[in-house]
Structure 1
Amino acid sequence: MIRKAEGAIVYKGNEFLLVHKVKVSALEKGSLMEGEWDFPKGGVEQNDLSLEHAILRELEEETGSTQYRVIKQFDDKICFSFGKSFQEQTGWKKQETTIFLVEYFGDDSDLVPKDREIAEVNFLPYEEVYERLTHKDTKQYFKSFFNEKLHDCVLCYPDLEPEQQVVFANDHCMFLQLNQSKEKGVQLEGSGLIVPRKHRETAFDLTREEWEATYDLLHKVKEHIDQHHHPQGYNVGWNCGEVGGQHIFHAHLHVLPRYESEPLSGKGIRYLFKSKENKRA
């Protein structure tokens, strides 16, 4: 038989959550062990309504917090075979662990484990996480996450880009700014992107809820930019498709404050398209 389990790569900013396990699970009668560092993981239980429900339950048990938002379920699983004695004791031959990417939005004060298997809960930077992880297969999975999954789409994991900040967010979308755009007098001062939390290729793929959330956030963003940068105008828009100038295929709404002191003041998007250089062959 195959034991179904779930686990989570939990992030807050550019740090990741590890738990220090000092007891083996109830499957092995709670026996003591030297201790191991791992991501929160556990078996799917009969009362779990779904894998997502299971990982949120597991996170509450192992960390004491409910302040989590599931971002993504990964296709790749962590799989391994149990030792002979464990197989004879439980009937389980293998384990398949489904991994989720999860965001923590608490303030750390609620991170008090309920599960006696867990001695510590810590957020750590990437390098320290990789060093501390006990199991080779989990280390390899985490490395793969950084080398492949993270770089698939930079807007799916905005908190993990050190030069970028999530300034505002709601349930469906976020406003992102690069640190350099906050400086006075630079090109694109105050500019940023509103992006859906879920991966949508273009603006045409957004749900109604995502459109409404984008609308709500846009007004909050304008108020923020007006207060901090005092622009005299705006360009706001989506690039859709490669020909339309889209280079990152995760839908993003450009919010570009404009200033009277710019050389191109008074010229908008149509100026570019109407130029002689844009004459069709």
Structure 2
Amino acid sequence: MAAIYRRELKGYFNTMIGYVIIVFLLAFSGIYFMAYNLNYGYPYFSYVLSGGIFMLLIAAPLLTMRSFAEERKNRTDQLLLTAPVSLFQIVMGKYLAMITILGIPCAVYLLFPLMIKMQGTAYILSDYLSILVYFLLGCVYIAIGMFVSSLTESQIIAAIGTFGILMVIQLWSGIIGFLPSSAMANVFGIAFLLSLLVWAVWRMTQNWVICLILEIVNLGVNGIVYAVKPEVYENLLSTICGELNLIDTFNSIASNNLLDVSGIILYLSLIVFFVFLTMEMIQKRRWS
């Protein structure tokens, strides 16, 4: 894994992508820092990260688009898969290289609260926690982008697909507001989402027997629960989707100085989930 990590990290700096992303994040953060903290005197560096969180929507697709799409296009993925390393080591080597690129500007961010402290009042602990949550959110975005890159051999499609998913995450709070509240609409919505998960399982396993059983359980359980106690489904979609709002975990630090532990667990769970999905997609292509 160490060899793959070094190879990938070196590749990002040989192609200038690593330098561009680092400079991009630091430059925009520096502009926000001067505007918010130096000119207007806000004592929280978390304001800077909150105002510039959209930068991850651009940095993550640029960082992840080549991770597996380029290997697949150049047909070097087969050489990599036949190397004497496990699939987990391949995926994690690439993933760790990408989060290292993100970690460099985040490490520089640690200096900004100290600069604020030199000017007067500062909230070091709150700012450092916001930097940690910002980094973890970036790690989630990178895991999503890596998975999208494993689906295609086009870097452009991988970048656009990742950006589209991240934009939906960014607008998640507004999207939730359009969800229906009635029990009937929610039961159909829940059944549809679970059917999509069953379809995803079929795409990865190609086992129609297991997927058929899962779909029968999905429709049967939802139908029975709705018939017995329909009020359970009222606003259920909004409640579930609200728990998946990734931006709220960061905003709880940036705006309220509260660390959402459940949100951190959600971040880590999503990282593991998308790394697993990436491994499954590559494994499927290996034996196809």
Greater RCO (CA < 8 Å, at least 6 residues apart): 2
- TM-score band, normalised by shorter chain: under 0.3
TM-score, normalised via structure 1 length: 0.27
TM-score where L is the length of structure 2: 0.26
From the two aligned structures, give the one with the greater helix fraction. Answer: 2
Greater strand proportion: 1
